[in-house]
Structures are given as structure tokens and as C-alpha cells.
């Protein structure tokens, strides 16, 4: 499924602004589900790609509730999306622009081709605990959506 990159950029900019305002007010942002431990593991992971994956999956889900964010390659089915394109055109440039630590290239370079974001991918990764947290969050976002 196609995800509009310009709309994703606008969403990121607005959410970033909202996060800055929350930080200034010392207000903790919330999620529509309880996953604080999983978020902590993602942000403490040395695998920066996990954070990029999560951000791209969240954006895809915001854009179209019918997208299965476990499927980041368009050839995986009618409800898949192009995670690599979203990362190359939106997520990675945004993170670089804001000086947020991220990879130099698309996040899917960490994963082998046509990988699905599920437990079967875990075996080939270095940070398995971080990946488990990523899958927990992807499952939650896919199941509950975002408010």
C-alpha cells in the first residue's frame, strides 16, 4: 500500500513540536497502551535501526489503518507497505535533520531481504532483547492503533 511521504513528514514535524512542548512543560507523553518497558529497551538498544523501524511502522499505521506493519515490503501482500522507501524519504532524513542519533542508511539494511517483523526474524539479530521489545510495540500498534 502506498504511504504519502509528504503527509508523513508533516505528521513527524507536528509530533516533534508537540513533544518539545511536552518536554518544556515537564509533561510525560503517553501511549494508548502500557508499554513503557518495551519503549525503554528500544531506546537503550545499540541497534538504532529498531527505533527507525518503530517510527516508520507508526507512521504507516497512522496513514492507513489497514496496513499490516509487520510486512515492510510491498511484495508481501495487498496490505504491506514499503518500509525502506518510508525510511529513505521521511524517517531517516527527519532524524538527521533533528540531530537525533540514527543510522546512515535505510533501516532495512540491518535485516535480510523480505523480512517480516515477527519472531522468526529474531534468530539472525545481535540485540535480541531490543528486537523482542520492537515486536511487542509493533504488535501493540498493529492491534490497538494510535490515538
State how far the alpha carbon of 2 is from the alpha carbons of 9, 10, 32, 51, 121, in Å. Answer: 15, 16, 25, 22, 24
Tell me the pTM.
0.88
Distance (Å, whole) CA 123 – CA 125: 6
Q: How confident is the model at residue 46 (pLDDT cuts 50, 70, 90)?
A: confident
Distance (Å, whole) CA 93 – CA 51: 14
Reported as a single tens digit per residue, the pLDDT across 95-110 is 999 998 887 766 656 7
Going by the DSSP 8-state scheme, the letter that residue 76 receives in this structure is G
Model pLDDT, residue 137 = 94
User: Rounded to 5 degrees, what are φ and ψ at 108?
Assistant: -70, -10
Reported as a single tens digit per residue, the pLDDT across 52-97 is 999 999 999 999 999 999 999 999 999 999 998 899 999 999 999 9
Distance (Å, whole) CA 21 – CA 19: 5
Is the pLDDT at 30 greater than 80? The verdict is no
- The mean predicted confidence, pLDDT, of the chain is 87
Amino acid at each position: 500500500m502506498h504511504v504519502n511521504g509528504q503527509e508523513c513528514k508533516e505528521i513527524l514535524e507536528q509530533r516533534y513540536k508537540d513533544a518539545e512542548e511536552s518536554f518544556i512543560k515537564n509533561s510525560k507523553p503517553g501511549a494508548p497502551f502500557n508499554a513503557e518497558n518495551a519503549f525503554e529497551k528500544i531506546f537503550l538498544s545499540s541497534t538504532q535501526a529498531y527505533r527507525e523501524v518503530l517510527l516508520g511502522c507508526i507512521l504507516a499505521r497512522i496513514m492507513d489503518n489497514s496496513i499490516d506493519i509487520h510486512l515492510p515490503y510491498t511484495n508481501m501482500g495487498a496490505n504491506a507497505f514499503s518500509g525502506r522507501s518510508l525510511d529513505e524519504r521521511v524517517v531517516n532524513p527527519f532524524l538527521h535533520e533533528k540531530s537525533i542519533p540514527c543510522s546512515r542508511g535505510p533501516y532495512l539494511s540491518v535485516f535480510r531481504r523480505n523480512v517480516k517483523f515477527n519472531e522468526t526474524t529474531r534468530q539472525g539479530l545481535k540485540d535480541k532483547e531490543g528486537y523482542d521489545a520492537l515486536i511487542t510495540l509493533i504488535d501493540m500498534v498493529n492491534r490497538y492503533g494510535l490515538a
